[in-house]
Amino acid sequence: MSRHGKKYRSVSAKLQARAEHELEAALTFLKENQIAKFDETAEIAFKLGVDPTKSDQAVRGTVALPHGTGKDVRVIVFASGPAADAAKEAGAIEVGFEELIAKVQGGWTDFDIAVATPEAMKEVRKLGKVLGPRGLMPNPKTGTVTDDTASAVNQFKAGRVEFKMDRHGNVMLPFGKLSFSVEALAENARAVVHAIQAAKPSAVKGIFVKNCTVTSSMGPGLRLVAREWAA
């Protein structure tokens, strides 16, 4: 018994097995064959030629999407003093130090991005068990540990997205909504491709990106032709 519904199977039936697609053609297909009644998120996934067990081959970073994510990004900031005031003015939904740490320690994770000042990180590290598994722990490599809290909040709310390799050597991240134009989605997707390529660890030899697929929240995956993602 298929775990997918009739509409998904109907859309999938239109695709050739193992077929590869030009980016704009794949995006057009996803837009014309939306399955959900809500505005689905467009997602892009990469299979990387890395050894996930080696720390010097870890892939992590951020990418600024030219057209944003189409989502209201909820940013919290662990900070005190002027850095906290700046974060509030920039639009962070929660700002604080001891009280905010206690709130998150209690299980509250109703946010998308967590930013912390270097000073606050001394205590925020205690939240590893809560934030780590959810990919929410602030990290200097992704610009989420900084004294310039206002800039960080503004960038993430404007469409800067974090990416992190999973334990199988895959990276998957959102790059817009299906309500976006094909052109806007394509520009966002290509920005992601360039960011992934730029994040290649020096320890990785041979082929870095093995394949790349675009999909939507409820739709099938469409593999892209190599020239769309090969370095």
- CATH number, domain at 170? 3.30.190.20
Half-sphere exposure of 187 (CA within 13 A, CB side): 11
Q: Which of 135, 158, 181 is the last residue of a domain?
A: 158
Phi, psi at 25, each rounded to 5°: -65, -40
Indicate the pTM of the whole model: 0.80
The reply to whether 8 falls in a domain is no
Q: Which of 143, 158, 173 is the last residue of a domain?
A: 158
Helix (H, G, I), strand (E, B) or coil at 208: coil
Q: Which of 158, 188, 209 is the last residue of a domain?
A: 158
Per-residue model confidence (pLDDT) at position 19: 84
Cβ atoms < 10 Å from Cβ of 14: 10
How many structural domains compose the chain? 2
Cβ 186 vs Cβ 193: under 8 Å: no
Instruction: List pLDDT tens digits, range 13-28.
Output: 677 666 899 999 999 9
The reply to whether 194 falls in a domain is yes
Per-residue model confidence (pLDDT) at position 6: 75
d(CA 131, CA 127): 6
Helix axes 23-32, 182-198, angle to 10 degrees: 130
User: In degrees to the nearest 10, what's the CA dihedral of 181, 193, 60, 222?
Assistant: 70
- Both 131 and 175 in a single domain? no
In the chain (231 residues long), the average pLDDT of successive 10-residue segments reads 64 73 94 90 96 92 92 94 97 96 94 96 94 91 93 93 92 95 97 95 92 93 91 63
Q: Which domain does 143 fall in, by range?
A: 75-158
Cα 111 to the chain's mean position, in Å?
Answer: 14
Helix axes 82-90, 149-158, angle to 10 degrees: 20
Per-residue model confidence (pLDDT) at position 183: 97
- Both 88 and 102 in a single domain? yes
- Both 204 and 166 in a single domain? yes
The reply to whether 1 falls in a domain is no
| DSSP, residue by residue, 69-128 | -SS---EEEE--THHHHHHHHHT-SEEESHHHHHHHHTT----SEEEE-TTTHHHHGGGH
d(CA 113, CA 132): 12
CATH at residue 130: 3.40.50.790
Cβ 185 vs Cβ 66: under 8 Å: no
Handedness of CA 92, 147, 136, 205 (dihedral sign): positive
- Both 134 and 109 in a single domain? yes
Per-residue model confidence (pLDDT) at position 15: 73
Q: In sequence order, what are the beta bridge partners of 215?
A: 43
Per-residue model confidence (pLDDT) at position 3: 62
Helix (H, G, I), strand (E, B) or coil at 61: strand
Helix (H, G, I), strand (E, B) or coil at 195: helix
Nearest to 154 by CA among 82, 68, 79, 70: 68
Half-sphere exposure of 123 (CA within 13 A, CB side): 17
- Both 55 and 115 in a single domain? no
Per-residue model confidence (pLDDT) at position 141: 85
